[in-house]
Structure 1
Amino acid sequence: MKQWWRRWTYEVPLAIGDALWEVLVVQLAALLDRLTVRKVVAFIPVVILIGAYYHSIPIPPELMLIGDFLAYIDIFSVLFLIGVLSRVTTILFVVKQAAARVAMLAGHVAAQLQRLDVRHRRTRSAPARPRRRPDRSEDDRAYGGVWGQVALA
């Protein structure tokens, strides 16, 4: 009798408490971790329909429209994302064209600067040698050249 009393007053309530802890805390926390807003919104029309059929309550048309909207929210979100992506691709296309034009302009400027570079002058075909002057005669040296003689005469 003592074991029976111990089992029903001590072990069974502990087992029930452990089972409730497992279901209400551990498994509920795991469910909430996996739960997303999309899943909740998709489940709302199911709850409305179950409630209407269970209680035999006629559903007003407004509630049906809300249920349809919630059921088709995936389609609306896909259309919205396609609209956003088309804008993003347009912006990326414009940015890509602008980057190509900037790169072309930078290449053009670099080519122009290379043409103006003074460090890389073209070499002449034949290097210029200094010319030899003919030897001056004594008269040229004394009077300053041929023109000096004409001025004295």
Structure 2
Amino acid sequence: MKQWWRRWTYEVPLAIGDALWDVLVVQLAALLDRLTVRKVIAFIPVVILIGAYYHSIPIPPELMLIGDFLAYIDIFSALFLLGVLSRITTILFVVKQAAARIASLGGDVVARMQRFDVRHRRQRGAPVRPRRKSESSEDDRAYDGVWGQVALA
């Protein structure tokens, strides 16, 4: 009798509480995480139709038009998205072409600047200055560096 009392006063209410917690908290939170505005809007016409058939009342034409609009909102949003994407691709195409033209213009400017010879070289007939010969002999040149002076000291 004690086991029966413990089971029906302790274990069964705990099992019911755990089941209610799972359904009303855990699963409801998971459902709300997956729920989007689009799903709610798509479900409104279904609620209107169920309410109309359940109560067997005539639906006013305004509710029918709202229901139709909400049912076709996916089509309207897809067409709008396609329109926006086509404009974006057109803009990206124009920007890409402008960048290519700017790059080719830059390459042309560099090529023309090289033709103008910006470095100012000497003319071909200009006399060349003779090189100065060092005063040290070939044997002394071997010790010109820092290490050579250290070795001589």
Query: In the superposition, relative to structure 1, how do residues 11 and 128 fare at CA in structure 2: closer, same or farther (>3 Å)?
Result: closer
Find the counterpart in structure 2 of residue 17 from structure 1: 17
TM score, norm. by length of structure 2: 0.75
State the Cα distance separating 1:3 from its structure 2 match.
Answer: 2.2
Distance 2:65 2:122 in 1: 83
Segments of 4+ moved more than 3 angstroms? 118-124
TM score, norm. by length of structure 1: 0.75
- Residue deviations 1:111-145 (CA, integer Å, cap 9, x gap): 11111224486996xx789xxxxxxxxxxxxxxxx
Q: Provide structure 1 residue ranges, at least 5 long, that are not aligned to the other structure.
A: 130-153
- Residue deviations 1:67-101 (CA, integer Å, cap 9, x gap): 11111111000010011012111211221121122
Find the counterpart in structure 2 of residue 137 from structure 1: none
1:4-153 mapped onto 2 (5 Å cutoff) = 4-119=4-119
Find the counterpart in structure 1 of residue 3 from structure 2: 3
Distance 1:71 1:80 in 2: 16
For 2:93, the aligned partner's letter is F
Report the identity percentage: 87
For 1:9, the aligned partner's letter is T
State the Cα distance separating 1:2 from its structure 2 match.
Answer: 2.4
If you compute each CA radius of gyration, which structure gives the higher value, 1 or 2? Answer: 1
Q: Provide structure 2 residue ranges, at least 5 long, that are not aligned to the other structure.
A: 128-153
Q: CA RMSD in A?
A: 2.0
Distance 1:128 1:20 in 2: 103
State the Cα distance separating 1:26 from its structure 2 match.
Answer: 0.8
- The alignment of Structure 1 onto Structure 2 pairs a total of residues equal to 127
Query: In the superposition, relative to structure 1, how do residues 119 and 6 fare at CA in structure 2: closer, same or farther (>3 Å)?
Result: same
Distance 1:107 1:128 in 2: 32
Q: Matched residue of 1:100: which SS?
A: helix
